[in-house]
């Protein structure tokens, strides 16, 4: 309720709506019915799960949508026939519920504001509003206003300009215009006297620019409507928001290795943008910065550490600005040297020495295993075997019944794979009976 009131006030429409909790409960009941039956329908079938009299009433007296409703997100922003009843100046009270993955808000039962002595027209966007989207694609079930003037749902047009009266009755456009920086804009209009449409909107109409408007531009709109025996006019201005520059910042902490020189180059920074403005890229901590144009890349300084790479682009022409930060890691020399561990299990029974090993990480190396016994007080090797370190299975070596103990020594050599070095490892295990 507070979000809707704030949206109305920001556009010069009375923001004094109050909640009818019984209508809110009815909306919640209808949302539950739609969820239980996997339908999106204002009508309820008495034979289906979740049917209720209150829910059925809400379904036929509300606008319906999906998702959530919060600050800055009206679920009917692209559905003019859902948005218009909620912004009508005649509306004073409603029930609303975002539940069961649906949104429901009552409309016409809340058109209780007394008619003024001198009727007026209200608009959305309101007079002087800035940042209005310069293009819009509309949708709605079962219809959307553009369906009646050759601009069906899903077609990109300029923003739908809603014109709403603070009195009831049938309203029809007598005249309407929209003028921008390049002169008059081609528009089409519908109103609640349009056949097949009137029952879906409150007293008023919609002005639809045929094509998207210019970004970051000022416009003046005028509307004159006949309501009963009255003719009411309104003129207002608004400005469109800036276009998305479609700027992207790419930051990679990957590395390039030159085998011939053994040189490692770490990190890469690049930008792409539809805006002609340069993107200023700075790296935290090191003080390094550079202006990049779309498609340009930069290899950052090779100082080890963890950094934040931030991009800033100023608004230019019709394009908005851009700001984003991404992490970057430059590794130190020690990080390219990795330890190796050997797990070794061994036991002797009779003449059989059983053993099992595992090397972490194996990296394609060979494990050398030596079995030793004592001869005149010294350890002498009686068997040497080499195995693929990538495999881990149980193997055996034949010993002697007279061996009171056997010493097992397992080793793997160091290996260099590109810039990474995996250190050698050695383990000695005494195996007694």
Mean residue pLDDT of the chain comes to 95
Q: Are residues 303 and 371 in the same domain?
A: no
| Nearest CA-CA partner of 187 in 217, 223, 218, 215 | 223
Q: Compute the distance between CA of residue 416 and CA of residue 418 in angstroms, rounded to an integer.
A: 6
Domain that holds residue 230: 114-241
Q: Are residues 225 and 253 in the same domain?
A: no
Give pTM, 2 decimals: 0.76
Among residues 273, 308, 331, the one where a domain terminates is 331
| Domain of residue 315, CATH code | 2.60.40
128-133: average pLDDT: 96
The DSSP code sequence of 66-116 is ES--BTTB-TTTT-HHHHHHHH-TTB-EE-EEEETTEEEEE-GGGB-PPPP
Q: Are residues 217 and 118 in the same domain?
A: yes
pLDDT at 73: 83
Q: Are residues 95 and 198 in the same domain?
A: no
- Cα dihedral 43→44→50→51 (10° resolution): 130
Please check whether residue 346 is in contact with residue 355, taking contact to mean a CB–CB distance below 8 angstroms. Answer: yes
Among residues 113, 142, 176, the one where a domain terminates is 113
Among residues 207, 241, 275, the one where a domain terminates is 241
| Domain of residue 216, CATH code | 2.60.40.3780
Instruction: Using the CB atoms, write b or e for 255-275: b if 16+ within 10 Å.
Output: beeeeeeeebebbbbbbbbeb
Phi-psi region of 316 (alpha: psi -120 to 50; beta: other; left: phi over 0): beta
Predicted confidence band of residue 69 (pLDDT cuts 50, 70, 90): confident
* pLDDT tens digit sequence for 212-269: 999 999 999 999 999 988 999 999 999 999 999 999 999 999 999 999 999 999 999 9
| Nearest CA-CA partner of 310 in 295, 298, 297, 327 | 327
Write down the number of H helices and E strands in the chain. Answer: 4, 33
Statement: residue 341 has pLDDT above 90:
yes
Q: Are residues 392 and 284 in the same domain?
A: no
| Domain of residue 403, CATH code | 2.60.40.10
| Nearest CA-CA partner of 106 in 74, 73, 67, 63 | 63
Predicted confidence band of residue 334 (pLDDT cuts 50, 70, 90): very high
User: Which of helix, strand or coil describes residue 28?
Assistant: helix
Q: Are residues 32 and 95 in the same domain?
A: yes
Q: Are residues 362 and 319 in the same domain?
A: no
Statement: residue 286 has pLDDT above 70:
no
Identify whether 138 is preceded by a cis peptide bond (ω within 30 of 0): no
Statement: residue 393 has pLDDT above 90:
no
Look up residue 57 and give its two tokens.
Answer: 């009433």
Statement: residue 38 has pLDDT above 80:
yes
Q: Work out how many domains the chain is built from and give that number.
A: 4
Q: Are residues 302 and 393 in the same domain?
A: no
Please check whether residue 373 is in contact with residue 351, taking contact to mean a CB–CB distance below 8 angstroms. Answer: no
Q: Compute the distance between CA of residue 297 and CA of residue 267 in angstroms, rounded to an integer.
A: 11
Please check whether residue 54 is in contact with residue 26, taking contact to mean a CB–CB distance below 8 angstroms. Answer: yes
Q: How many CA within 13 A on the CB side of residue 392?
A: 10
Q: Are residues 342 and 311 in the same domain?
A: no
Q: Are residues 396 and 346 in the same domain?
A: yes
* pLDDT tens digit sequence for 150-163: 999 989 999 999 99
| Nearest CA-CA partner of 381 in 414, 410, 358 | 410
Q: Compute the distance between CA of residue 148 and CA of residue 128 in angstroms, rounded to an integer.
A: 29
Q: Compute the distance between CA of residue 320 and CA of residue 311 in angstroms, rounded to an integer.
A: 14
Task: Identify the burial level of 167 via C-beta atoms within 10 angstroms of its C-beta, where 0-12 means exposed, 13-18 middle and 19 or more buried.
Answer: buried
Q: Are residues 1 and 88 in the same domain?
A: yes
Look up residue 364 and give its two tokens.
Answer: 């394609």
Statement: residue 287 has pLDDT above 80:
no
Q: Are residues 264 and 161 in the same domain?
A: no
Statement: residue 299 has pLDDT above 80:
yes
82-88: average pLDDT: 96
């Amino acid at each position: 309720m507070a979000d809707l009131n704030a949206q109305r006030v920001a556009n010069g429409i009375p923001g004094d709506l109050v909640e009818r909790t019984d209508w809110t409960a009815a909306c919640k009941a209808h949302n539950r019915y739609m969820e239980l039956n996997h339908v999106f329908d204002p009508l309820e079938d008495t034979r289906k799960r979740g049917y209720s009299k209150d829910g059925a009433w809400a379904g036929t007296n509300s606008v319906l949508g999906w998702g959530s409703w919060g600050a800055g997100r009206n679920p009917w922003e692209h559905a003019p026939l859902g948005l218009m009843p909620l912004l009508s100046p005649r509306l004073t009270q409603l029930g609303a519920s975002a539940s069961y993955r649906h949104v429901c808000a009552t409309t016409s039962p809340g058109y209780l504001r007394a008619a003024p002595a001198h009727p007026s027209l209200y608009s959305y966007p309101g007079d002087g509003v800035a940042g209005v989207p310069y293009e819009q694609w509309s949708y709605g079930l079962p219809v959307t206003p553009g369906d009646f003037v050759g601009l069906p749902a899903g077609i990109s047009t300029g923003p739908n300009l809603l014109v709403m009266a603070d009195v009831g009755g049938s309203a029809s456009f007598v005249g309407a215009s929209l003028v921008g920086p390049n002169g008059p804009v081609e528009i089409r209009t519908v109103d609640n006297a349009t056949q097949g449409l009137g029952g879906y909107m409150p007293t008023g109409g919609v002005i639809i620019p045929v094509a998207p408007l210019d970004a970051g531009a000022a416009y003046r709109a005028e509307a004159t409507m006949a309501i009963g025996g009255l003719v009411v006019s309104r003129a207002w201005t608004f400005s469109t928001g800036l276009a998305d520059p479609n700027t992207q910042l790419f930051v990679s902490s990957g590395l390039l290795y030159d085998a011939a020189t053994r040189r490692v180059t770490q990190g890469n920074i690049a930008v792409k943008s539809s805006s002609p403005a340069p993107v200023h890229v700075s790296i935290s901590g090191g003080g390094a910065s550079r202006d990049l144009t779309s498609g340009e890349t930069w290899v950052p300084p090779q100082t080890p550490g963890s950094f934040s790479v931030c991009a800033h682009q100023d608004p230019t022409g019709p394009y908005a600005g851009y700001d984003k930060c991404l992490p970057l890691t430059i590794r130190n020399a020690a990080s390219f040297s990795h330890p190796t561990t050997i797990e070794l299990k061994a036991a002797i029974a009779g003449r059989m020495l059983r053993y099992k090993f595992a090397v972490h990480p194996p990296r394609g190396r060979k494990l050398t295993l030596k079995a030793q016994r004592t001869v005149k007080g010294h350890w002498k090797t009686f068997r040497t075997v080499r195995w693929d370190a990538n495999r881990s299975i149980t193997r055996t070596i034949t010993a002697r019944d007279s061996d009171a103990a056997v010493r097992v020594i397992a080793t793997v050599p160091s290996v260099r794979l590109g810039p990474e070095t995996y250190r050698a490892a050695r383990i000695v295990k005494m195996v007694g009976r």
